[in-house]
Structure 1
Amino acid sequence: MKYRLGDLARISSSKRIYAKEYTTSGIPFYRGKEIIELSSGHLVSNKLFISKDRFNQIRSKYNDVPEKDDVLITAVGTIGETYLVKSRDLPFYFKDGNLIKLSKWNRQIVSPEYMYYWLNSYAGKMAIKKITIGSTQQAITIGELSDIELDLPPISEQGKIAQRLSILDVKIDNNKHINANLAA
């Protein structure tokens, strides 16, 4: 059945964090670069932080901080790199404009893990490419991303597909760690 991405999840960005709000410790603050590193299975190389007070202020006032199974998508420059938020990464916050967050999934219709894999598939990459704007500095918008249409298999089938792909991801991740240890 065909669905609009905006009907499957809440699509949003973050609240503005200014450079003067960066701190030397606290809650990790990720930009597109850090999300690309995490999505590639690497550690974050450049650690930025915001204060716990600022993070808690955003959480209490807007109830809009990353949670497990949210998907972050790079939206400026390097377009369409995705990251499925894992419990081990929480808490963190992210840069507005550079990243778009898919959250609050309609779990009766869609599995967040399946959507993560769909967004990384050829069909997902082509759908994102079609909505990319700009020639010098490419970008995608929340509105255009919300309007992407896709066919979804039944939720039970989505779970099976996501589970199989997840097993492969774990094997790939393990091989990366083994190679890194061998190189060291």
Structure 2
Amino acid sequence: MKKVREGYKMTELGEIPGEWEIKPLNKIAYKIGDGLHGTPVYSEDGDYYFINGNNLNDGKILITNETKKVNEIEYQKYKKELNNNTLLISLNGTIGNLACYNSEKVVLGKSCGYITLKESVNKNYIFYALNSNKIQLHFYKELTGTTIKNLSLDTLRKTNIPIPYIKEQQKISSILSSVDEQIEITDNLIEKMKKLKKGLMQRLLTKGIGHSRFKDTEIGRIPEEWEVRKLGDISLLITKGTTPSTYGFDFVDEGVNFIKIENILDNGKICSDNLLKISYECNEKLSRSKIQENDILVSIAGSLGKSVLISGNILPANTNQALAIVRLDKSNYSVEYINYIFSSRFFKNYIDKISTVGAQPNLSLQQVNDFKIPIPCYDEQQQIASILSSVDKQISQYESKKEKLQELKKGLMQKLLTGKIRVKVS
């Protein structure tokens, strides 16, 4: 049996400081309930939003264009006992998402639970406690239902929470809130840089750098000095892969990276966490689709238009038939510039115009070949790519900072919410 540290005690939640208590949620709340089990009368010019669990995200109530509204009459019928000491929690779908209620004008649906806490506890501390891995895991173990999983109010009411003295609760929540503030600041910087990049792409890929005369073309208005070329005319190779099982091969534990659409992230990078592997023998058999450094992979089945520029650190690598391999003539064309074209409105508009829509949208290799691209001189291609790349690097730095902050918060939550690290209070 594990020895309990001096000054600590063993509980159903593990080892906690001796002076802390374990209390079920219903002992520290005035009221725990859920929203309307039905549909209100919606009103486009209503003042109150009708929200459910899917409107709760990162501690806040998320209102979208799809969120319905209700008027004052419906609000008065279905309002709940909410105040500034209330937490909201999703009870089905995405279980356990939380938000702090801050006097927003809302009516709750049945998948949105509410916990109106007593003044004896700190709302932000309980918010972080309910977000902890241990309690979130408890929620998932207690889910009911088959097709749609539900977190019952009974489970919620009986959920045990470690409770320090109020001043320690306040100090713990203050520390975690300060990290959250830094995460939010970094998030805002990421969004700001993404908007900057979008604006720069729109301008640079249509107006270029330092041009004053423009011409109308089949792909829109571009600088007079630019050309319009088909992708096939500027490429040494455009091909695609196949499935290893076609030739009797299975995936293996070690070997050559096998890149699929799901490995390509929205930010144009490859997620290596779930890369499959094929044997070197299989890679030789699939020689047509051996990937080289500076190849561009473009998704042509399912989720169309994702692209990634291949760097040497992912090689050796191969791919399947859902990704086209574009190998450019690098002596006259910047691979970085062409890769930005694939994430621009030019390619999106082209996909919308010609893609086959059925059970699964597709582009043929011929259609990839026929994609028309605005082509500046080589130096200008490089300048444009350099400007956009500098913004991408800044975005990556902010994203890396956010990941580190999230890891810091995770570690602090594990230690502070269990009392492994004690905070000093006056």
TM-score tier, shorter chain, comes to 0.7 to 0.9
Per-residue deviation, 1:93: 1.1
Equivalent residue number for residue 2 of structure 1: 228
Alpha-carbon displacement from aligned partner over 1:73-108 (angstroms, at most 9, x marks no partner):
111111000001011211111112x111101x1234
Per the normalisation by structure 1, the TM-score is 0.87
Equivalent residue number for residue 134 of structure 1: 357
Q: Identical aligned pairs, as a percentage?
A: 22
Identify unmatched segments of 5+ residues in structure 1.
none
Task: Give the count of matched residue pairs.
Answer: 178
Equivalent residue number for residue 147 of structure 1: 370
Q: Which has the higher contact order (CA 8 A, sep 6+)?
A: 1
Cα distance in structure 2, aligned partners of 1:2 and 1:42 = 30
Alpha-carbon displacement from aligned partner over 1:49-91 (angstroms, at most 9, x marks no partner):
10123224544xx4x5111111101111110000010112111
Q: 1:53 aligns with which of 256, 272, 281?
A: 281
Per-residue deviation, 1:138: 0.6
- In the alignment, is residue 179 of structure 1 matched against residue 405 of structure 2? no
**Structure 1 residues 87 and 136, CA gap change in structure 2 (3 angstroms):** same
Equivalent residue number for residue 87 of structure 1: 312
Divergent runs of 4+, >6 A: none
* 8 Å CA contact 1:38, 1:44 repeated in 2: no
Equivalent residue number for residue 326 of structure 2: 102
Higher Rg of the two aligned structures: 2
Residue identity opposite 1:54 in structure 2: C
Equivalent residue number for residue 382 of structure 2: 159
Cα distance in structure 2, aligned partners of 1:93 and 1:81 = 17
- In the alignment, is residue 75 of structure 1 matched against residue 303 of structure 2? no
Residue identity opposite 1:47 in structure 2: L
Cα distance in structure 1, aligned partners of 2:311 and 2:383 = 19
Query: SS of the residue aligned with 1:21?
Result: coil
Per-residue deviation, 1:44: 2.8
**Structure 1 residues 91 and 38, CA gap change in structure 2 (3 angstroms):** farther
Identify unmatched segments of 5+ residues in structure 2.
1-226, 408-426
Alpha-carbon displacement from aligned partner over 1:11-56 (angstroms, at most 9, x marks no partner):
11024411842111111111110123772x4633323110123224
Higher helix share: 1
Equivalent residue number for residue 168 of structure 1: 391
